[in-house]
Amino acid sequence: MLHVLLTASVAFIITFFAIPAIITVAEQKKLFDIPDARKLHTRPIASLGGIGIFSGFFLASLLGISVKAYPEFQFFFAAATMIFFIGINDDMIVMSPMRKFIGQVVAAAVLIHLGEIRITSMHGLFGLEQLPDAVSLAFSYMTIIVIINAFNLIDGIDGLAGTLGMLTTSVFGTYFLMANMPAYAVLSFSMTGSLLAFLIFNYNPAKIFMGDTGSLLLGLVNAILAIKFISVADSTNVLLPMESAVAIGFSILMVPLSDTLRVFSIRILRGRSPFTPDRHHIHHLLLDRGLNHKYITLCCLLVNVFFIALAYFSRGLGPTYTLLLLCTVATVMLAALLLLKKPVAETAASAKPKSNALAVHTKVVPITKETAIAENE
């Protein structure tokens, strides 16, 4: 327990001191995320916070986990490093969705084939147990990539992705700690500690964003933890077995995962790429109904906690009925939100005309004299 707390503290301290330095460098080098018609912020903000998250998480994990005792972690760290460079490349120079997708597939391949992070069984969900190798591989790739993108896509307003990430990693970490799996507990709470430090600077009004560097890394770590949790918790040979582990694992990631699956489905049904940006995410729906960043973050956090509690207390129904219950309740809540009328008055941001200056080809660009003048107008 003390070992895990010390590791989380190290992650917090490293990130806490790294973020102000990153903000200073961004200001000196004039590296900012410029607002445009789709983005919600109205002033240039540094989007390199993922560097600080990665630094705290990675160094703390290396200090707290023995690769000799847990050899699979060397592949976890390799995949995390790959995702880090994909993210920072996308934050600095916009990558095409296909290049990002290929990078995510390669990172998933490292986890599946070398790190043994793989879904081999459905654990009774819909009456299914052991999966054929081909199905197991395909489902493992799909799960990892969807979870990675779930946190990338939910990172749309100040504090939301970081807050949900703190919740998920702390819940997974608590289970692994109670199940006497200290290495996975360290991995979980290292991310929790880094996110806690980052959120000090990210809550509305944000001084810095985590960017794709942080959100992709957060998704990767949650993919590792979720698959490991499901494979371990459903076994009767572990210290802390848990019924309906598949449904509980889904509930822990409920808000980002269900939002991503819903938005992907909408885009595909409309004949578009699932990675095409739009305004159908849950935080957009809540913003359109008058809530601000802080209330949306709190609302999504409480909803996710509610679904975790619902899954835990209904786990005796079995994985299939528990998951169906979660999906039914989520559908009813979403329908109620959609039926809620939008405020009559449009926000000032949506009323602003689009500027030609917003058509940039990079996410992080230097602030020129002309841009600064335009921002103050």
Residues 318-328 pLDDT 10s? 999 999 999 99
- Average pLDDT on 156-184 reads 95
Binding-site annotation, residues for Mg(2+): 152, 212
**What's the confidence (pLDDT) of residue 42?**
55
Give me the DSSP letters along 216-232: HHHHHHHHHHHHHHHHH
pLDDT, one tens digit per residue, over 296-351 is 999 999 999 999 999 999 999 999 999 999 999 999 999 998 888 776 554 444 44
Tell me: pLDDT of 287 over 90. Answer: no
Binding-site annotation, residues: 152, 212
Sign of CA dihedral 65, 66, 68, 70: negative
CA distance 182 to 175: 10
CA distance 228 to 47: 31
Q: Tokens 């990002």 correspond to what residue? A: 100
Please classify residue 13 by burial: count the beta carbons closer than 10 Å to its beta carbon, then call 0-12 exposed, 13-18 middle and 19+ buried. Answer: middle
Tell me: pLDDT of 43 over 70. Answer: no
Output 27-35 pairs: Cβ under 8 A, ≥24 positions apart.
29/366, 30/366, 30/367, 31/92, 31/364, 31/365, 31/366, 32/364, 32/365, 32/367, 33/209, 33/211, 33/363, 33/364, 34/358, 34/360, 34/363, 34/365, 34/371, 35/358
**What's the confidence (pLDDT) of residue 221?**
98
- Average pLDDT on 39-49 reads 70
**What's the confidence (pLDDT) of residue 370?**
45
Question: What type of residue is 297?
Answer: T
Cα pseudo-dihedral 14, 15, 16, 19, rounded to 10: 130
CA distance 221 to 4: 17
What is the pLDDT confidence band of residue 371, given thresholds at 50, 70 and 90? Answer: very low
- Structure tokens, 155: 């990172």
Tell me: pLDDT of 374 over 80. Answer: no
Average model confidence (pLDDT) across the chain: 87
pLDDT, one tens digit per residue, over 106-155 is 999 999 999 999 999 999 999 999 999 999 999 999 999 999 999 999 98
**What's the confidence (pLDDT) of residue 36?**
55
Question: What type of residue is 201?
Answer: F
Of residues 7 and 97, more confidence is placed in 7
